[in-house]
């Protein structure tokens, strides 16, 4: 049974913790994490106070893309354990009041899935039409669409002479959602997990499922405009939602690649006919100059504020968004937008506060709650992610980028930055495994680990614990509207949230120099209190009009009307 609750929108006051099982905790000496490892850390997660765990895929998979290439949706990958282990996790999490959210990857399957194995090389296979096949054009690929991991998005089936579409790796074949049988299979898969008592679903790249059916070449880009937020995507989501999500009361979060606010208002519309909420990534492209990820670049601070403003004001009253900095595809935020040396603790807390005081549901990615950093790999052999190794080959071997430049780019941008093993303590391999970890642990684990965070009352861990609790205590965090107070300020990100009964002001210094700003004149400061900060606020009982912020300082002020 999924956990029940009188409040069917419990997730509006919740915080969700993302687990990348391969790197979370190894219960044996394999060097890869597993479900028993997760079970052994449930008390830790309970202490943090999170309401739900999102597990990235744990299904049967050849692991070409670490589980985002599913070979059997109904089996647990033996590397992670058994179905009995999963059932134990579900029930032990529920005993602690923690819900479980599964990752559903249905834009594509692994090419090792039985459907694809039957379809490959056989135009008569009953599963041929589960995938997208096209004849060659001018002896080559059917169009110029690019794979998200580099290269053309079509691969040849030699036996039939046709190509299949793969928007990601060639081992991840896109499903043909035009085929109603595919949609029925998707409903069956999700119902299977909902029947087990899973509480919700994170839907991988779900806005890419409906492709424009002429499969035209894109003379302006890589093809994404022909399949992103495609023609039938809302119909398909409504169909799945009605058949499964609404029936089971599942919470759902859609991962939306290169989407728009208008589409996200529909995906997450408050009547619940599609999904509960959406992830978008626009705020995480502020260090992609001209949209280019594979360059080493500083981030654009003013643009970051504009993007948050656009989404916070645009979703308020219309939809619901996920709040996040980190996941298994993104570098560690403290290395990316903060300062992972002198001000690691201050900047980790400041960055957390900046998103946790917004409207939406915050997601915390494993290790973020102890301020884990990018590992600073220097050798190509340290990387495992296929996107990183593909991009190295394309950029160094084909485009002439130097090895040193590429290593600097990977150290900033690689997805492996977030996939390093969770740092539990200062024992060998950070206590993640007694064996050889599949990806090296960051060298700083002696200082940065969960054990020392738990022993230090001012740690990043307890700060996250407080942020999670505040969302449940202070109503305006969930309901208030949003106003950017200093859109042009070169160092401060400050915004106001306002409801009928409360006003909250969140001030954040994004840099390592002291700066100041003035609070809006109309705020009744005699009724204002500091409710959170990352420096001692003892000396400032009264909230003053002029605010002097220290390096990476954050302050949250609450006013009762
Ligand atoms: O990611 C979708 C996606 O497009 C990315 O964030 C991707 O990693 C990035 O564009 C690369 O630059 C999801 C999963 O989160 C990711 O781990 C999978 O690799 C991908 O889908 C394919 O299933």
Instruction: Write the residue with the smallest CA distance to atom 20 of ligand 1.
Output: 68
Instruction: Specify whether 238 is located in the same domain as 257.
Output: yes
Instruction: Specify whether 214 is located in the same domain as 306.
Output: yes
Instruction: Write the residue with the smallest CA distance to atom 2 of ligand 1.
Output: 205
Instruction: Specify whether 325 is located in the same domain as 194.
Output: yes
Cα separations in angstroms, 358 against 13, 276, 333, 427, 507: 12, 17, 17, 37, 12
Instruction: Specify whether 270 is located in the same domain as 255.
Output: yes
**Contact predicate 256/206, CB 8 Å:** yes
**Contact predicate 167/237, CB 8 Å:** no
Residues 6+ away with beta carbon under 8 Å from 149:
168, 169, 386, 387, 390, 391
Asked whether residue 439 is assigned to any structural domain, the reply reads: no
Give the pLDDT confidence of 469-499 residue by residue, as tens digits. Answer: 999 999 999 999 999 999 999 999 999 999 9
Give φ, ψ of 67 to 5 degrees: 100, -15
Instruction: Specify whether 240 is located in the same domain as 129.
Output: no
Give φ, ψ of 434 to 5 degrees: -95, -5
> Tell me, what's the pLDDT at 8?
79
Residue 515 CA to ligand 1 centre (angstroms) = 37
The tokens 């990601």 sit on which residue? 168
Percent of the chain exceeding pLDDT 70 equals 99
Give φ, ψ of 328 to 5 degrees: -75, 0
Mean per-residue pLDDT, 345-351: 98
> Tell me, what's the pLDDT at 538?
63
Give the pLDDT confidence of 422-475 residue by residue, as tens digits. Answer: 999 999 999 999 999 999 999 999 999 999 999 999 999 999 999 999 999 999
**Contact predicate 354/7, CB 8 Å:** no
Instruction: Specify whether 234 is located in the same domain as 313.
Output: yes
Asked whether residue 75 is assigned to any structural domain, the reply reads: yes
Instruction: Specify whether 328 is located in the same domain as 248.
Output: yes
Asked whether residue 395 is assigned to any structural domain, the reply reads: no
In whole angstroms, how large is the CA radius of gyration of the chain? 23
Asked whether residue 381 is assigned to any structural domain, the reply reads: no
Instruction: Specify whether 15 is located in the same domain as 47.
Output: yes
> How would you label 516-542 residue by residue, b for 16+ Cβ within 10 Å and e otherwise?
ebebeeebeeeebebbbbbbeeeeeee
Asked whether residue 254 is assigned to any structural domain, the reply reads: yes
Asked whether residue 429 is assigned to any structural domain, the reply reads: no
Dist CA 530 CA 109 (whole Å): 50
The 3-state secondary structure of 496-549 reads: EEECCCEEEEEEEECCCCCEEEECCCCCCHHHEEEEEECCCCCCCCCCCCEEEE
Ligand 1 atom nearest to 281, measured from its CA = 6
For 211-336, list the strands marked E by DSSP. 251-255, 277-279, 322-323
Looking at 325, 343, 371, which one is the last position of a domain?
371
CATH number where 144 lies: 3.90.400.10
Helices (H), 1-41: 35-40
Give the pLDDT confidence of 377-401 residue by residue, as tens digits. Answer: 999 999 999 999 999 999 999 999 9
Give the pLDDT confidence of 209-228 residue by residue, as tens digits. Answer: 999 999 999 999 999 999 99
**Strand 492-498 to strand 502-509: parallel, antiparallel, or no bridges (unpaired)?**
antiparallel
pLDDT band at 540; cut points 50, 70, 90 = low
Q: How many domains does the chain have?
A: 3
**Ligand 1 pocket check: which of 329, 363, 413 to mutate, most ligand atoms within 8 Å of Cβ?**
329
Average pLDDT score, the chain: 97
Dist CA 552 CA 348 (whole Å): 9
Instruction: Specify whether 77 is located in the same domain as 127.
Output: no
Mean per-residue pLDDT, 128-155: 97
CB atoms within 10 A of CB 8: 11
Nearest CA to 364 among 332, 392, 396, 338?
332
**Contact predicate 79/31, CB 8 Å:** no
**Cα dihedral 493, 498, 503, 509 in deg (nearest 10):** 0
- Decide if pLDDT at 5 tops 70: no
Instruction: Write the residue with the smallest CA distance to atom 4 of ligand 1.
Output: 257
> Tell me, what's the pLDDT at 536?
86
Q: How many residues in the chain?
A: 561
CATH number where 516 lies: 2.60.40.1180
pLDDT band at 48; cut points 50, 70, 90 = very high
Instruction: Specify whether 329 is located in the same domain as 305.
Output: yes
Give the pLDDT confidence of 156-203 residue by residue, as tens digits. Answer: 999 999 999 999 999 999 999 999 999 999 999 999 999 999 999 999
pLDDT band at 2; cut points 50, 70, 90 = confident
Q: Does the beta carbon of 34 sit less than 6 angstroms from any atom of ligand 1?
A: no
- Decide if pLDDT at 150 tops 70: yes
pLDDT band at 1; cut points 50, 70, 90 = confident
Instruction: Write the residue with the smallest CA distance to atom 8 of ligand 1.
Output: 329
Asked whether residue 414 is assigned to any structural domain, the reply reads: no
Q: Does the beta carbon of 148 sit less than 6 angstroms from any atom of ligand 1?
A: yes
> Tell me, what's the pLDDT at 542?
86
The tokens 């390093």 sit on which residue? 420
Q: Tell me which residue range forms the domain holding 286.
A: 10-107+183-371
Looking at 347, 371, 395, which one is the last position of a domain?
371
**Strand 154-157 to strand 162-165: parallel, antiparallel, or no bridges (unpaired)?**
antiparallel
Dist CA 174 CA 226 (whole Å): 14
Dist CA 485 CA 546 (whole Å): 14
Structure token pair of residue 543: 């909230």
Structure token pair of residue 541: 């009982």
User: Is 255 noted as a catalytic residue in this protein?
Assistant: yes
CATH number where 299 lies: 3.20.20.80
Looking at 356, 371, 386, which one is the last position of a domain?
371
> Tell me, what's the pLDDT at 537?
75
User: Is 26 noted as a catalytic residue in this protein?
Assistant: no
Instruction: Specify whether 74 is located in the same domain as 190.
Output: yes
pLDDT band at 6; cut points 50, 70, 90 = low
Asked whether residue 58 is assigned to any structural domain, the reply reads: yes
155: β partners = 164
Dist CA 58 CA 546 (whole Å): 51
Instruction: Specify whether 23 is located in the same domain as 141.
Output: no
């Amino acid at each position: 049974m999924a956990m029940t609750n009188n409040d069917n929108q419990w997730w509006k006051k919740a915080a969700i913790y993302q687990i990348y099982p391969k790197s979370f905790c190894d219960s044996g000496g394999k060097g890869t994490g597993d479900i028993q490892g997760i079970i052994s850390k449930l008390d830790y997660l309970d202490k943090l106070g999170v309401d739900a765990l999102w597990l990235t895929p744990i299904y049967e998979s050849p692991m070409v893309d670490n589980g985002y290439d599913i070979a059997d949706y109904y089996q647990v990958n033996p590397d992670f354990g058994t179905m009995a282990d999963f059932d134990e996790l579900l029930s032990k999490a529920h005993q602690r009041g923690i819900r479980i959210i599964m990752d559903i990857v249905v834009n594509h399957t692994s090419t090792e899935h039985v459907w694809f194995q039957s379809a490959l090389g056989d135009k008569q296979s009953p599963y041929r039409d589960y995938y997208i096949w096209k004849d060659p054009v001018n002896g080559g690929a059917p169009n110029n669409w690019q794979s998200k991991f580099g290269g053309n998005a079509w691969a040849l089936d030699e036996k039939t002479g046709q190509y299949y579409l793969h928007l990601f790796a060639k081992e991840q074949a896109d499903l043909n959602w035009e085929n109603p049988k595919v949609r029925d299979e998707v409903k069956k898969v999700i119902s299977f997990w909902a029947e087990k008592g899973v509480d919700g679903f994170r839907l991988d790249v779900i806005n890419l499922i409906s492709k424009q059916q002429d499969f035209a070449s894109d003379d302006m880009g890589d093809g994404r405009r022909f399949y992103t937020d495609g023609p039938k995507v809302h119909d398909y989501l409504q169909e799945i939602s009605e058949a499964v999500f609404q029936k089971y009361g599942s919470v759902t979060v859609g991962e939306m690649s290169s989407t728009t606010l208008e589409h996200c208002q529909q995906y997450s519309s408050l009547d619940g006919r599609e999904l509960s909420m959406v992830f978008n990534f626009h705020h995480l492209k502020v260090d992609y100059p001209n949209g280019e990820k594979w360059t080493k670049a500083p981030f654009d601070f003013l643009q970051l504020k504009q993007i948050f403003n656009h989404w916070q004001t645009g979703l308020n009253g219309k939809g619901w968004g996920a709040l996040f900095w980190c996941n298994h595809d993104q570098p560690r935020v403290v290395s990316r937008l903060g300062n992972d040396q002198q001000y690691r603790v201050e900047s980790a807390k400041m960055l957390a506060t900046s998103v946790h005081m917004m409207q939406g549901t915050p997601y915390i990615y494993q290790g973020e709650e102890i301020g884990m950093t990018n590992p600073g790999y220097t050798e190509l052999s340290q990387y495992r992610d296929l996107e990183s190794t593909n991009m190295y080959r394309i950029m160094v071997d084909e485009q002439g980028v130097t090895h040193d430049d590429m290593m600097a780019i990977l150290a900033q941008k690689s997805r492996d930055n977030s996939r390093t093993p969770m740092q539990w303590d200062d024992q060998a391999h950070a206590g993640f495994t007694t064996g050889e970890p599949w990806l090296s642990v960051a060298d700083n684990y002696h200082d940065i680990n969960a054990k020392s965070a738990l022993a230090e009352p001012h740690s990043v861990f307890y700060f996250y614990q407080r942020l999670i609790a505040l969302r449940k205590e202070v109503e305006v965090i969930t309901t208030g509207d949003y106003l950017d107070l200093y859109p042009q300020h070169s160092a401060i990100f400050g915004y106001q949230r306002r409801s009928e009964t409360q006003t909250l002001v969140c001030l954040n210094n994004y840099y390592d120099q002291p700066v100041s700003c003035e609070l809006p004149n109309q705020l009744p400061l005699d009724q204002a209190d500091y409710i959170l900060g990352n420096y001692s606020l003892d000396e400032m009982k009264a909230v003053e009009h002029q605010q002097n912020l220290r390096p990476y300082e954050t302050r949250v002020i609450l006013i009762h009307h």
